[in-house]
Amino acid sequence: ALANLGFMNFVWGALGWGSGDGDGEAADASDSGHADRADLTPEEVRALRLARLAPVAPADAGAEGRGVGIPPDGAPAADGGRSAAPAPEAGKRLVDKDRAAHHGGAGGGAQGSHDDSGDAKALSSSEPNPWVALSTMAAPQAPSPVAAMAPSREEAPASATSPAAPRVAPAKARVSPAAEGRAARRRAREAHDAIANVFAFTNQRDDLGRDASLVLLDGVLPADALMAEADLVRLLRARLALPGAAAGALGSPLTYLVACFVRADHLQRREGARVDGPAHRVATKALAAVVDCAADAMVNAAAYPRATPDSALELVDLFGVSDPAKLPPAGFVEALVVKLGTVADISGLAAAVAMHLFEKMRHMSFQSGYQPLLAALDGLVASKPFVEALVASRVFLPSVTALSGRQLQAGTLLGVFFSPTAYDAASREAHFSDTRHLTQPALDAANSMMRRQGMSLIVSLERIVLRLLRSGPVPRERTLRWLSLAVESNAELCKTRPNPMVASSEGFAYNLAAVLLRLCNPFIDISTGKSRTIDADFLLSDTALFPDDEEFMLDAASLGPVDALPVAASGVDVDNEDEDLALALAASAVDEGDAGGAPARAAPTSAGPAQRPPRSRKQSDFKFVTRCFFLSVRALHVAIVPMTRRYTLLERQVGHLQREARNNPAAAVQLNELLGTLLLQDVLLKDPDVQSAVLRFCAVAGDWLLRVCSDGADEMPIPLPVPAPRQAAVLREHFVEDVIEVLQFIGNRSVEALSGVDPAGIAALTTFLTAFLASPSHVRSPHLRAKFGTVLFDIYVPRESKPHLRDADPRAGGSGSAEWGYALQRHEAAKVHLPPSLMELFGDVESTGFYEKTTHRYHIACTLNHLWSFEAHRPAFIAITRDEARFTKFVNGVINHSTKLLEDALDALPTVKDLTDAMRDLRAWAALGSYVQQQRQTELREAEQIASNNLLLANQTVAMLCALTEADEVQEAFLTDALVGRLATLVNSVLSRITGRKARNLRVDTPEKYHFRPKEMLSQMCQTVVHMAAHDRFARACAEADFYDENVLKYASKKLAEHRLLDAGEQAAFDDFVSRVTSFSRELEAEEEEAGDDDAPDEFLCAIGLVVMRDPVRLPASNVYVERQTIMQHLLNSETDPFSREPLTADMLVPAEELKARIEAWRASRRADRAAASSGGARGAGGAGGAGGAGGESDSESGAGD
């Protein structure tokens, strides 16, 4: 095809046919001076076409997109448009030759400087396309005068076309003066017409005949002169200055200028290929002139007769505020705002614009059209000078700083823009007004729509705040001041029921927190190390974000002696800060003494403000990363965390109403309203994007807290060091609590959001949980420590290890995260410190309340059982048995709680059985009457709840004891005096309840409903016995313990064999254990009969157990004598005197040696008396001989028969 094209071109050249002008205008071909193509061989034609399909490289880096040798816009080419420097490449030489043929001649002027350095598309649009030429071939024409001046191919010497000889360049085409004049007049006319089309005015009356809409401008230019590019600005200003009716349909200056901008933009796009053409130049200059005049009209409205009195409102309306369908073209507003920034003084305009935006936005809601106003503010703050004027206005930051949250929201510019939220009455009415008929697809669609809109708002607000912060020192400080006030003034939101007349709306606070969290993105990635620049000394600045009356993390005792406090990390001693701190701590040590104690007690009061370092620095002294971090920390505390608490409370209310609404119409109405509110909170709090941002921030916050508490140690010390570093003295308790509550909320309801945290964040949060749980001095509240166990249970424990979810819907949540669970398995610190910390926590939650401690211990027991399943974690379990005091306290707590739970649960099951049996007799049930029926139903619900909740935890503690006793090292720990009897009593008690005479009362319908699995419980208890069976001490303890029944053990062995609950080896070991316990029981009966303690004096009896004491001790506070083992058992549960309630510890017990000696003497005397009596009785019986023989045999048979 290329060969054929080359041949055809050769024919055209031989016949003298000229080509078109490239843009299809044949009439201008002669005026433009186009030459024919007779100077090219067919081979060169083919090469030229291939070369024109590739871009031409620029001559140098400063060419700014021009072709090689192409002069800049407005400068004529020195050689008629060709490259000034010869090109070495053959293809480029041919392109230059082709350009000379089409654009050559002295009259080329501006057209000779066309940009041909672009891609193939640009080249094909600016130069003739040979493929198009073939399809649109016209009749042959005579050569133009300019073409005739060029030598023909026949006149060229033969050597010029010889392949061996170098090719001689053709002579430069020349244009006649007449042709040059015609081209100049054509360009001038084109510029005149372009100006008239863009600006709708003219200075020539002849134009009015062609277009009556044009406005005639008299006196600006001579009547016979054409409007030129140089006169454009003068003509435009004259047009804008026309008064009254002479202006025609001008309208306001801004309206007219926008229309001109539209037409100029259209013209520029149309002439895009002819960048140096007159029309394109006019369009380019027109765009700039329109923007200049628009800016001047806004600032100097008095100079324009038809200007509107409120130019600020007109500027705001440019963003489609009044009519979103009438938006100016892209680029106009942006250029106008930039131009306004160059005006000397725009403070008045900026203040007026801010007031207009404020007044309009304050009436908007999430459901109304606030988007144009948001776009207006977003566009205006793109200009730094405009921002400087904007932030100086009173509506941006009032001079009165003592504002409530509500006043700040309703009375400032940013306040009204942060106000739109899905959490309002209008959104509830629009989407969740009738929750009874709400389908899941409709719910999903509403959630998706509102979350998209809400995130769009947050992203726009973030962009606005960023532009304000980047506009200079003054805007940055005033913006940060507003953000600080917005957070400071909303401490009221931390309350369960905040006062709406004082606090901002929850939606405002949510938007504020979401924007601040997004501002933290540059340093939110832990792996980058940017968070290490956060300076904890910001808490010692003049900020009001963190009041001094808040609870501090550490008490004075945990801060250590004064001389142990290190110097500030920054190395700067501001206002002798360390000396003031030393004096404050010295005073606190004298005033409060040691505030330490058992973690399970009520948390001691933290050190007051006078015991903390003074506030001696300014907020402005700190870098943006530090200030943004602490703003986000506080926003999390006043916005997100309180919302999660209220959500949980609302969840409970909805659950209660759902039960009541079945038979109560009033409750149904209230349920519909509360459920709609709950669904709106779902939209906000369960937004995946916000949850991901919150989790990533919590990871950074947790990592930062650990670094502060460890003084930046490379290897994290666990437990955290005491005394704590200097900077830790100002940490608030809620820093830790907020992270925990966020994790608890998301882990329980939106565990899928946890997958958005990167591995570094997961590792940081796992370290945070492990380190603070292992440091009771840093987390003093038992309620807060209990939440650590809940978080570990919710997030790290998989669904299969949570018995309460065995039959639940997987979509209900609580399944745990596989990624986080895997991280826990391989976390080195967790392997060592987590099991002992959880064991200690099991006892610490005793003071959290009866119902709360049951739930907490269930979470802890499930987590411990899950950790025991990992071989890597078992050494930590075994290691804690070497600390006898800690292990004894833990196991005693487990046994005590298990005993109580099983007792209550197994007492409730017979009640459940009796009530369900009664309800099954319909005739007898109907005869009871409605009042009695309601009472019985209430009793049934309570009994079912007791049985279900208690057995849920008891199953876990029984399983945990079974697992722990499997290890030989742990078995030894269970054989201590404090534990062996407790474990034996638990075994006897459980076996007697589930296999004894009353076991048939436990046969309820659907026992799985109450988590009652008797076979599983029997198997686990008997496996525990098998684990301990080899130890005679445990067998003897079982024989001595309460609830021992030989028949129960034998019946249990029978049931184990019947249901094959143990393997053969375990069954044999259990049977052997039963035999040994029976033997020990016989021995004990004989010893008790020999001791004869029944008639012991009262002073020898333990005041608690009422048995003769073997190791009596005196309680110092109440002066009461008790058995040592009995009081030690009590102290494991409560370190108080059981009679006076005074504090009591094991080292305070006073041995009663004198009383012990008297008891031993009395026992010795009793044994001697019995021995003497036995000896005398034997002699009397021998003397009676054969006379009494028959009677004795008869008594023996009678006893046997009985």
User: Is there a domain that residue 564 lies in?
Assistant: no
Residues 216-249 pLDDT 10s:
888 888 877 888 888 888 888 888 888 755 555 5
Which run of H or E residues covers position 651?
helix 641-660
pLDDT above 70 (res 133): no
Hey, how many other C-beta atoms are within 10 angstroms of the C-beta on 450?
Answer: 23
**Backbone φ, ψ for residue 1114 (5° rounding):** -110, 135
Q: Which of 788, 803, 795 is nearest to 819 (CA)?
A: 795
pLDDT above 50 (res 139): no
pLDDT above 50 (res 191): yes
Q: Which of 1101, 1004, 996 is nearest to 1047 (CA)?
A: 996
Instruction: State how far the Cα of 746 lies from the Cα of 813, in Å rounded to an integer.
Output: 10
Residue pointed to by tokens 């005091």: 885
Give residue 812's pLDDT band: very low, low, confident or very high (50, 70, 90): low
pLDDT given at position 246: 52
Residues 22 and 149 in one domain: yes
Enumerate the β-bridge partners of residue 712.
none
Cα–Cα distance list, 905 to 21, 843, 1009 (Å): 100, 21, 13
Residues 938-990 pLDDT 10s:
999 999 999 999 999 899 999 999 999 999 889 999 998 888 988 999 999 99
Residues 84 and 114 in one domain: yes
Domain end marker among 135, 161, 187 = 161
Q: Is 614 helix (H, G, I), strand (E, B) or coil?
A: coil
Q: Is 1132 helix (H, G, I), strand (E, B) or coil?
A: helix
Residues 929 and 1043 in one domain: yes
DSSP per residue, 429-490:
HHHSS-GGG--HHHHHHHHHHHHHHHHHHHHHHHHHHHHHHTT-HHHHHHHHHHHHHHHHTT
Residue pointed to by tokens 């049977």: 1071
The amino acid that residue 1025 corresponds to is V
Centroid of chain to Cα 1101: 63
Alpha helices in 520-604 (DSSP H): 577-592
Instruction: With beta carbons less than 8 A apart as the criterion, state whether 702 and 765 touch.
Output: yes
Residues 238 and 255 in one domain: yes
If you average pLDDT over every residue of the chain, what do you get? 77
Q: Is 892 helix (H, G, I), strand (E, B) or coil?
A: helix
Sheet holding 1121-1123, edge to edge: 1121-1123, 1112-1114, 1150-1151
pLDDT given at position 560: 54
Give residue 93's pLDDT band: very low, low, confident or very high (50, 70, 90): very low
User: Is there a domain that residue 108 lies in?
Assistant: yes
Token pair for residue 629?
Answer: 């971090």
pLDDT above 70 (res 625): yes
- Our count of domains for the chain comes to 5
The amino acid that residue 88 corresponds to is P
pLDDT above 80 (res 409): yes
pLDDT above 60 (res 136): no
Residues 206 and 141 in one domain: no
Token pair for residue 1032?
Answer: 């005679």
- Most confident of the ranges 43-52, 724-733, 749-758, 981-990: 981-990
pLDDT given at position 429: 87
Instruction: With beta carbons less than 8 A apart as the criterion, state whether 887 and 843 touch.
Output: no
Residues 442-501 pLDDT 10s:
999 999 999 999 999 999 999 999 999 999 999 999 999 999 999 999 999 999 899 999
pLDDT given at position 1176: 59
Hey, how many other C-beta atoms are within 10 angstroms of the C-beta on 144?
Answer: 20
Bond into 1014 cis (ω within 30) = no
User: Is there a domain that residue 428 lies in?
Assistant: no
pLDDT above 50 (res 88): no
pLDDT given at position 41: 54
Token pair for residue 623?
Answer: 């870098």
Lowest mean pLDDT among 603-612, 754-763, 1164-1173: 603-612
Instruction: State how far the Cα of 6 lies from the Cα of 40, in Å rounded to an integer.
Output: 10
Residues 779 and 900 in one domain: no
User: Is there a domain that residue 766 lies in?
Assistant: yes
pLDDT given at position 632: 96
User: Is there a domain that residue 542 lies in?
Assistant: no
Cα–Cα distance list, 1151 to 332, 968, 1118, 1123 (Å): 95, 34, 14, 10
Q: Which of 412, 625, 636, 439 is nearest to 519 (CA)?
A: 625
pLDDT given at position 1171: 67
Give residue 650's pLDDT band: very low, low, confident or very high (50, 70, 90): very high
Token pair for residue 801?
Answer: 């290890």
Token pair for residue 727?
Answer: 């900077």
DSSP per residue, 216-262:
E--SSS-TTSPP-GGGHHHHHHHHHT--GGGG-S--SHHHHHHHHHH
Q: Which of 315, 314, 319 is nearest to 329 (CA)?
A: 319
Q: Which of 313, 271, 38 is nearest to 149 (CA)?
A: 38
- Most confident of the ranges 108-117, 532-541, 573-582: 532-541
Output 344 or 478, whichever has higher pLDDT: 478
Domain end marker among 282, 309, 336 = 309
- Quote the pTM value: 0.73
- Most confident of the ranges 48-62, 326-340, 664-678, 798-812: 664-678
Give residue 813's pLDDT band: very low, low, confident or very high (50, 70, 90): low
Instruction: State how far the Cα of 828 lies from the Cα of 206, in Å rounded to an integer.
Output: 91
Output 661 or 54, whichever has higher pLDDT: 661
Token pair for residue 364?
Answer: 């908007």
Residue pointed to by tokens 């369908």: 325
Residues 950 and 1017 in one domain: yes
Enumerate the β-bridge partners of residue 1101.
1108
pLDDT given at position 613: 62
Q: Which of 675, 641, 679 is nearest to 656 (CA)?
A: 675
User: Is there a domain that residue 1041 lies in?
Assistant: yes
Token pair for residue 1111?
Answer: 């190791």
User: Is there a domain that residue 345 lies in?
Assistant: no
Residues 772 and 809 in one domain: yes
**Backbone φ, ψ for residue 53 (5° rounding):** -85, -5
List the CATH number of the domain containing 1120. 3.30.40.10
Residues 897 and 1026 in one domain: yes
User: Is there a domain that residue 500 lies in?
Assistant: no
pLDDT given at position 790: 93
pLDDT given at position 811: 59
Q: Which of 682, 649, 647 is nearest to 435 (CA)?
A: 682
- Mean pLDDT, range 347-374, rounded to an integer: 87
Residues 957 and 1083 in one domain: yes
Domain end marker among 289, 309, 329 = 309
Give residue 603's pLDDT band: very low, low, confident or very high (50, 70, 90): very low
- Determine the structural domain holding residue 799 and report its residue range: 686-848
DSSP per residue, 402-443:
---HHHHHHHSHHHHHT---SSSHHHHHHHSS-GGG--HHHH
Lowest mean pLDDT among 355-359, 770-774, 814-818, 821-825: 814-818
Q: Is 765 helix (H, G, I), strand (E, B) or coil?
A: helix
Residues 667-720 pLDDT 10s:
889 899 999 999 999 999 999 999 999 999 999 999 999 999 998 887 888 999
Which run of H or E residues covers position 1151?
strand 1150-1151
Share of the chain above pLDDT 90, in %: 33
Token pair for residue 252?
Answer: 């306001």
Strands (E) across 56-150 are located at: none
Residue 720, burial from CB neighbour count under 10 angstroms (0-12, 13-18, 19+): buried
Cα–Cα distance list, 527 to 473, 524, 693 (Å): 30, 9, 16
Share of the chain above pLDDT 70, in %: 75
- Most confident of the ranges 129-138, 505-514, 746-755: 505-514
Residues 143 and 213 in one domain: no
**Backbone φ, ψ for residue 1014 (5° rounding):** -60, -40
Instruction: With beta carbons less than 8 A apart as the criterion, state whether 1056 and 1062 touch.
Output: yes
Residues 81 and 31 in one domain: yes
